[in-house]
Structure 1
Amino acid sequence: MLYLGLKYLHVIAAIFLFGFGMGSYLYLIAASRTANPLVIAHVARMVVRFDTWITTPAGLVQIITGFFLMKLSGLPMTTEWVATSLIIFFCVGALWLPVLLLQKKLCAMASSAGEAGKGLDENYRAVYRRWFWMGVAGFAGMFVIVLMMVTKLTPVQLLNVLV
Protein backbone atom coordinates (compact mmCIF):
# COMPACT_ATOMS: atom_id res chain seq x y z
CA MET A 1 0.00 0.00 0.00
CA LEU A 2 2.89 2.36 0.78
CA TYR A 3 4.32 1.73 -2.70
CA LEU A 4 1.01 2.57 -4.39
CA GLY A 5 0.61 5.71 -2.29
CA LEU A 6 4.10 6.87 -3.23
CA LYS A 7 3.50 6.01 -6.87
CA TYR A 8 0.29 8.05 -6.80
CA LEU A 9 2.15 11.05 -5.32
CA HIS A 10 4.92 10.59 -7.89
CA VAL A 11 2.42 10.68 -10.78
CA ILE A 12 0.51 13.64 -9.32
CA ALA A 13 3.79 15.53 -8.82
CA ALA A 14 4.72 14.77 -12.46
CA ILE A 15 1.37 16.14 -13.59
CA PHE A 16 1.87 19.31 -11.53
CA LEU A 17 5.49 19.69 -12.63
CA PHE A 18 4.70 19.22 -16.28
CA GLY A 19 1.25 20.84 -16.30
CA PHE A 20 1.98 23.98 -14.34
CA GLY A 21 5.37 24.32 -16.01
CA MET A 22 3.89 24.05 -19.50
CA GLY A 23 0.97 26.30 -18.59
CA SER A 24 3.29 28.99 -17.26
CA TYR A 25 5.48 28.69 -20.32
CA LEU A 26 2.58 29.02 -22.76
CA TYR A 27 0.96 31.90 -20.86
CA LEU A 28 4.17 33.91 -20.87
CA ILE A 29 4.65 33.21 -24.58
CA ALA A 30 1.09 34.37 -25.28
CA ALA A 31 1.52 37.49 -23.13
CA SER A 32 4.81 38.33 -24.83
CA ARG A 33 3.18 38.06 -28.24
CA THR A 34 0.89 40.96 -27.29
CA ALA A 35 4.00 43.20 -26.99
CA ASN A 36 2.05 45.02 -24.26
CA PRO A 37 4.44 45.56 -21.32
CA LEU A 38 1.61 45.83 -18.79
CA VAL A 39 0.08 42.51 -19.88
CA ILE A 40 3.48 40.84 -19.91
CA ALA A 41 4.38 42.17 -16.45
CA HIS A 42 1.07 40.96 -14.99
CA VAL A 43 1.36 37.48 -16.49
CA ALA A 44 5.07 37.19 -15.67
CA ARG A 45 4.35 37.98 -11.99
CA MET A 46 1.80 35.15 -11.88
CA VAL A 47 4.12 32.78 -13.75
CA VAL A 48 6.97 33.43 -11.31
CA ARG A 49 4.60 32.91 -8.36
CA PHE A 50 3.18 29.63 -9.72
CA ASP A 51 6.59 28.30 -10.74
CA THR A 52 8.05 29.16 -7.35
CA TRP A 53 5.24 27.79 -5.18
CA ILE A 54 3.82 24.92 -7.25
CA THR A 55 6.19 23.73 -9.98
CA THR A 56 9.37 23.82 -7.89
CA PRO A 57 7.89 21.87 -4.93
CA ALA A 58 6.45 19.34 -7.40
CA GLY A 59 10.00 18.74 -8.66
CA LEU A 60 11.16 18.11 -5.10
CA VAL A 61 8.28 15.68 -4.53
CA GLN A 62 9.34 13.89 -7.74
CA ILE A 63 12.86 13.38 -6.40
CA ILE A 64 11.73 12.22 -2.95
CA THR A 65 8.98 9.86 -4.11
CA GLY A 66 11.16 8.49 -6.93
CA PHE A 67 13.93 7.69 -4.46
CA PHE A 68 11.58 5.85 -2.11
CA LEU A 69 9.88 4.01 -4.99
CA MET A 70 13.30 2.73 -6.09
CA LYS A 71 14.16 1.64 -2.56
CA LEU A 72 10.81 -0.11 -1.99
CA SER A 73 10.93 -1.92 -5.32
CA GLY A 74 14.59 -2.93 -4.94
CA LEU A 75 15.38 -1.23 -8.23
CA PRO A 76 19.03 -0.18 -8.35
CA MET A 77 19.86 3.38 -9.33
CA THR A 78 22.17 1.90 -11.96
CA THR A 79 19.19 0.49 -13.88
CA GLU A 80 19.68 2.05 -17.31
CA TRP A 81 16.32 3.83 -17.66
CA VAL A 82 16.49 5.07 -14.06
CA ALA A 83 20.03 6.42 -14.38
CA THR A 84 19.22 8.03 -17.74
CA SER A 85 16.04 9.63 -16.44
CA LEU A 86 17.90 10.99 -13.40
CA ILE A 87 20.63 12.49 -15.58
CA ILE A 88 18.03 14.16 -17.79
CA PHE A 89 15.98 15.26 -14.74
CA PHE A 90 19.00 16.97 -13.18
CA CYS A 91 19.93 18.56 -16.52
CA VAL A 92 16.38 19.93 -16.81
CA GLY A 93 16.60 21.01 -13.18
CA ALA A 94 19.85 22.84 -13.91
CA LEU A 95 17.89 24.92 -16.42
CA TRP A 96 15.19 25.66 -13.87
CA LEU A 97 16.87 28.31 -11.72
CA PRO A 98 18.13 30.30 -14.72
CA VAL A 99 14.65 30.10 -16.28
CA LEU A 100 13.06 31.37 -13.08
CA LEU A 101 15.59 34.21 -12.88
CA LEU A 102 14.97 35.10 -16.53
CA GLN A 103 11.22 35.17 -15.86
CA LYS A 104 11.80 37.60 -13.01
CA LYS A 105 13.99 39.70 -15.29
CA LEU A 106 11.34 39.70 -18.04
CA CYS A 107 8.78 40.79 -15.45
CA ALA A 108 10.98 43.64 -14.21
CA MET A 109 11.80 44.77 -17.75
CA ALA A 110 8.14 44.72 -18.80
CA SER A 111 7.09 46.53 -15.60
CA SER A 112 9.67 49.27 -16.17
CA ALA A 113 8.64 49.70 -19.80
CA GLY A 114 4.96 49.80 -18.85
CA GLU A 115 5.48 52.35 -16.08
CA ALA A 116 7.51 54.54 -18.44
CA GLY A 117 4.90 54.17 -21.18
CA LYS A 118 7.50 52.69 -23.52
CA GLY A 119 7.62 49.59 -25.66
CA LEU A 120 9.88 46.63 -25.17
CA ASP A 121 13.42 46.97 -26.44
CA GLU A 122 15.90 44.56 -28.03
CA ASN A 123 17.30 43.73 -24.60
CA TYR A 124 13.88 42.36 -23.57
CA ARG A 125 13.67 40.33 -26.79
CA ALA A 126 17.16 38.90 -26.22
CA VAL A 127 16.28 37.79 -22.68
CA TYR A 128 12.97 36.41 -23.95
CA ARG A 129 14.70 34.36 -26.67
CA ARG A 130 17.12 32.87 -24.13
CA TRP A 131 14.19 32.03 -21.82
CA PHE A 132 12.17 30.56 -24.71
CA TRP A 133 14.90 28.21 -25.94
CA MET A 134 15.81 27.10 -22.43
CA GLY A 135 12.13 26.19 -22.03
CA VAL A 136 12.17 24.21 -25.28
CA ALA A 137 15.20 22.25 -24.03
CA GLY A 138 13.65 21.70 -20.60
CA PHE A 139 10.33 20.45 -21.92
CA ALA A 140 12.03 18.21 -24.49
CA GLY A 141 13.84 16.60 -21.56
CA MET A 142 10.61 16.25 -19.62
CA PHE A 143 8.89 14.55 -22.57
CA VAL A 144 11.74 12.03 -22.72
CA ILE A 145 11.59 11.41 -18.96
CA VAL A 146 7.84 10.70 -19.09
CA LEU A 147 8.44 8.34 -22.02
CA MET A 148 11.03 6.46 -19.95
CA MET A 149 8.75 6.33 -16.90
CA VAL A 150 6.00 4.74 -18.99
CA THR A 151 8.10 2.36 -21.11
CA LYS A 152 10.94 1.63 -18.65
CA LEU A 153 13.27 2.00 -21.64
CA THR A 154 15.91 4.57 -22.53
CA PRO A 155 15.37 6.43 -25.82
CA VAL A 156 18.08 4.27 -27.47
CA GLN A 157 16.45 1.06 -26.23
CA LEU A 158 13.05 2.29 -27.44
CA LEU A 159 14.44 3.06 -30.90
CA ASN A 160 15.97 -0.42 -31.06
CA VAL A 161 12.59 -1.94 -30.20
CA LEU A 162 10.83 0.14 -32.86
CA VAL A 163 13.41 -0.58 -35.58
Structure 2
Amino acid sequence: MPDYALLKTVHILSSTLLFGTGLGTAFHGWMANRSGVLAARRVVNRNVERADWLFTTPAVIAQPVTGIWLAQLAGFPLTTPWLVTAMALYVLVGACWLPVVAIQIAMRRIADTTPDGADLPPRYHRLARWWFALGWPAFAGVIVIFWLMVAKPEFAL
Protein backbone atom coordinates (compact mmCIF):
# COMPACT_ATOMS: atom_id res chain seq x y z
CA MET A 1 0.00 0.00 0.00
CA PRO A 2 1.35 3.45 -0.86
CA ASP A 3 2.28 5.87 1.88
CA TYR A 4 -0.77 8.12 2.30
CA ALA A 5 1.28 11.11 3.50
CA LEU A 6 3.62 10.88 0.51
CA LEU A 7 0.69 10.61 -1.92
CA LYS A 8 -1.05 13.55 -0.27
CA THR A 9 2.18 15.58 -0.47
CA VAL A 10 2.43 14.89 -4.21
CA HIS A 11 -1.22 15.88 -4.61
CA ILE A 12 -0.76 19.14 -2.70
CA LEU A 13 2.49 19.98 -4.50
CA SER A 14 0.98 19.32 -7.92
CA SER A 15 -2.07 21.46 -7.07
CA THR A 16 0.25 24.23 -5.91
CA LEU A 17 2.27 23.92 -9.10
CA LEU A 18 -0.89 23.97 -11.20
CA PHE A 19 -2.32 27.03 -9.45
CA GLY A 20 0.95 28.91 -9.12
CA THR A 21 2.06 28.36 -12.70
CA GLY A 22 -1.36 29.38 -13.98
CA LEU A 23 -1.42 32.54 -11.89
CA GLY A 24 2.20 33.41 -12.71
CA THR A 25 1.89 32.88 -16.45
CA ALA A 26 -1.42 34.76 -16.52
CA PHE A 27 0.18 37.73 -14.77
CA HIS A 28 3.24 37.79 -17.03
CA GLY A 29 1.18 37.28 -20.18
CA TRP A 30 -1.24 40.03 -19.23
CA MET A 31 1.57 42.45 -18.34
CA ALA A 32 3.50 41.71 -21.56
CA ASN A 33 0.37 42.30 -23.62
CA ARG A 34 -0.34 45.55 -21.77
CA SER A 35 3.21 46.74 -22.41
CA GLY A 36 2.68 46.92 -26.16
CA VAL A 37 6.28 45.80 -26.64
CA LEU A 38 6.56 43.12 -29.33
CA ALA A 39 9.85 41.74 -27.99
CA ALA A 40 8.31 41.31 -24.52
CA ARG A 41 5.32 39.54 -26.00
CA ARG A 42 7.57 37.19 -27.94
CA VAL A 43 9.61 36.20 -24.89
CA VAL A 44 6.66 35.91 -22.53
CA ASN A 45 4.47 33.98 -24.99
CA ARG A 46 7.32 31.53 -25.56
CA ASN A 47 7.89 31.12 -21.81
CA VAL A 48 4.17 30.76 -21.02
CA GLU A 49 3.97 27.96 -23.57
CA ARG A 50 7.06 26.29 -22.08
CA ALA A 51 5.70 26.60 -18.55
CA ASP A 52 2.52 24.85 -19.61
CA TRP A 53 4.45 21.92 -21.05
CA LEU A 54 6.97 21.69 -18.21
CA PHE A 55 4.80 22.39 -15.17
CA THR A 56 1.08 22.64 -15.88
CA THR A 57 0.69 19.52 -18.01
CA PRO A 58 2.34 17.13 -15.51
CA ALA A 59 0.30 18.70 -12.69
CA VAL A 60 -2.91 18.36 -14.71
CA ILE A 61 -2.17 14.65 -15.06
CA ALA A 62 -1.07 14.14 -11.44
CA GLN A 63 -4.13 15.81 -9.91
CA PRO A 64 -6.86 13.32 -10.87
CA VAL A 65 -4.56 10.32 -10.45
CA THR A 66 -3.46 11.26 -6.93
CA GLY A 67 -6.88 12.69 -6.03
CA ILE A 68 -8.82 9.56 -6.89
CA TRP A 69 -6.19 7.38 -5.26
CA LEU A 70 -6.32 9.49 -2.08
CA ALA A 71 -10.11 9.38 -1.98
CA GLN A 72 -10.07 5.60 -2.25
CA LEU A 73 -7.38 5.25 0.44
CA ALA A 74 -9.30 7.60 2.76
CA GLY A 75 -12.54 5.71 2.18
CA PHE A 76 -14.44 8.49 0.40
CA PRO A 77 -16.78 7.10 -2.25
CA LEU A 78 -16.28 8.86 -5.59
CA THR A 79 -20.00 9.70 -5.42
CA THR A 80 -19.49 11.90 -2.34
CA PRO A 81 -21.10 15.23 -3.30
CA TRP A 82 -18.08 17.45 -2.57
CA LEU A 83 -15.86 15.09 -4.60
CA VAL A 84 -18.33 15.00 -7.50
CA THR A 85 -18.47 18.80 -7.43
CA ALA A 86 -14.68 19.07 -7.32
CA MET A 87 -14.30 16.64 -10.23
CA ALA A 88 -16.94 18.50 -12.27
CA LEU A 89 -15.14 21.78 -11.61
CA TYR A 90 -11.86 20.14 -12.62
CA VAL A 91 -13.44 19.22 -15.97
CA LEU A 92 -14.70 22.82 -16.33
CA VAL A 93 -11.23 24.17 -15.56
CA GLY A 94 -9.78 21.78 -18.14
CA ALA A 95 -12.39 22.89 -20.67
CA CYS A 96 -11.08 26.43 -20.21
CA TRP A 97 -7.40 25.43 -20.15
CA LEU A 98 -7.31 23.33 -23.34
CA PRO A 99 -8.40 26.19 -25.62
CA VAL A 100 -6.02 28.48 -23.74
CA VAL A 101 -3.13 26.20 -24.70
CA ALA A 102 -4.10 26.44 -28.37
CA ILE A 103 -4.54 30.21 -28.03
CA GLN A 104 -1.10 30.59 -26.43
CA ILE A 105 0.51 28.67 -29.26
CA ALA A 106 -1.29 30.82 -31.84
CA MET A 107 -0.31 34.02 -30.03
CA ARG A 108 3.32 32.95 -29.87
CA ARG A 109 3.37 32.11 -33.57
CA ILE A 110 1.77 35.44 -34.51
CA ALA A 111 4.21 37.41 -32.33
CA ASP A 112 7.18 35.43 -33.67
CA THR A 113 6.22 36.08 -37.30
CA THR A 114 5.33 39.76 -36.89
CA PRO A 115 8.19 41.89 -38.23
CA ASP A 116 9.98 44.17 -35.78
CA GLY A 117 8.34 47.58 -35.73
CA ALA A 118 5.05 46.27 -37.15
CA ASP A 119 1.78 46.21 -35.26
CA LEU A 120 0.37 42.88 -34.24
CA PRO A 121 -2.67 41.93 -36.32
CA PRO A 122 -6.19 42.22 -34.86
CA ARG A 123 -6.34 38.41 -34.55
CA TYR A 124 -3.58 38.51 -31.92
CA HIS A 125 -5.57 40.99 -29.82
CA ARG A 126 -8.78 38.92 -30.15
CA LEU A 127 -6.87 35.82 -29.03
CA ALA A 128 -5.36 37.75 -26.10
CA ARG A 129 -8.85 38.79 -24.97
CA TRP A 130 -10.09 35.17 -25.15
CA TRP A 131 -6.95 33.98 -23.33
CA PHE A 132 -7.62 36.47 -20.53
CA ALA A 133 -11.37 35.77 -20.38
CA LEU A 134 -10.97 31.99 -20.18
CA GLY A 135 -8.57 32.38 -17.28
CA TRP A 136 -11.23 33.78 -14.95
CA PRO A 137 -13.58 30.79 -14.76
CA ALA A 138 -10.57 28.49 -14.52
CA PHE A 139 -9.10 30.56 -11.67
CA ALA A 140 -12.42 30.68 -9.82
CA GLY A 141 -12.92 26.94 -10.36
CA VAL A 142 -9.55 26.12 -8.84
CA ILE A 143 -10.26 28.32 -5.81
CA VAL A 144 -13.55 26.49 -5.22
CA ILE A 145 -11.80 23.12 -5.66
CA PHE A 146 -9.25 24.12 -3.00
CA TRP A 147 -12.11 25.05 -0.67
CA LEU A 148 -13.90 21.75 -1.32
CA MET A 149 -10.74 19.78 -0.60
CA VAL A 150 -10.18 21.59 2.68
CA ALA A 151 -13.77 21.97 3.94
CA LYS A 152 -15.23 18.71 2.59
CA PRO A 153 -18.72 20.15 3.08
CA GLU A 154 -21.72 17.94 3.49
CA PHE A 155 -24.43 18.71 0.96
CA ALA A 156 -26.68 16.80 -1.41
CA LEU A 157 -26.53 16.95 -5.17
Question: Fold-level match, TM-score > 0.5?
Answer: yes
Match of residue 32 from structure 2:
31
Paired with 2:95 and 2:153, the residues of 1 have a C-alpha distance of 23
Q: Is the 8 A contact 2:38 2:111 kept in 1?
A: yes
Paired with 2:110 and 2:152, the residues of 1 have a C-alpha distance of 43
Runs of 4+ in 1 over 4 A off after TM superposition: none
Residue 116 of structure 1, CA deviation: 4.7
> What TM-score do the two structures reach when normalised by structure 2?
0.93
Paired with 1:106 and 1:11, the residues of 2 have a C-alpha distance of 31
Cα deviation, 1:113-135, whole Å, max 9, x if unaligned, reads 2x253012322111111110001
AA paired with 1:123? R
AA paired with 2:45? A
Equivalence map 1:1-163=2 (5 Å): 2-113=3-114, 115-153=115-153
**Unaligned ranges ≥5, structure 1:** 158-163
Residue 95 of structure 1, CA deviation: 1.7
AA paired with 1:63? P
* RMSD of aligned Cα (Å): 1.4
Paired with 1:123 and 1:61, the residues of 2 have a C-alpha distance of 34
Residue 3 of structure 1, CA deviation: 1.0
Aligned residues: 154
**Unaligned ranges ≥5, structure 2:** none
AA paired with 2:31? A
> What TM-score do the two structures reach when normalised by structure 1?
0.89
Paired with 1:123 and 1:62, the residues of 2 have a C-alpha distance of 34
Structure in which a larger fraction of residues adopt helix: 1
Residue 75 of structure 1, CA deviation: 0.5
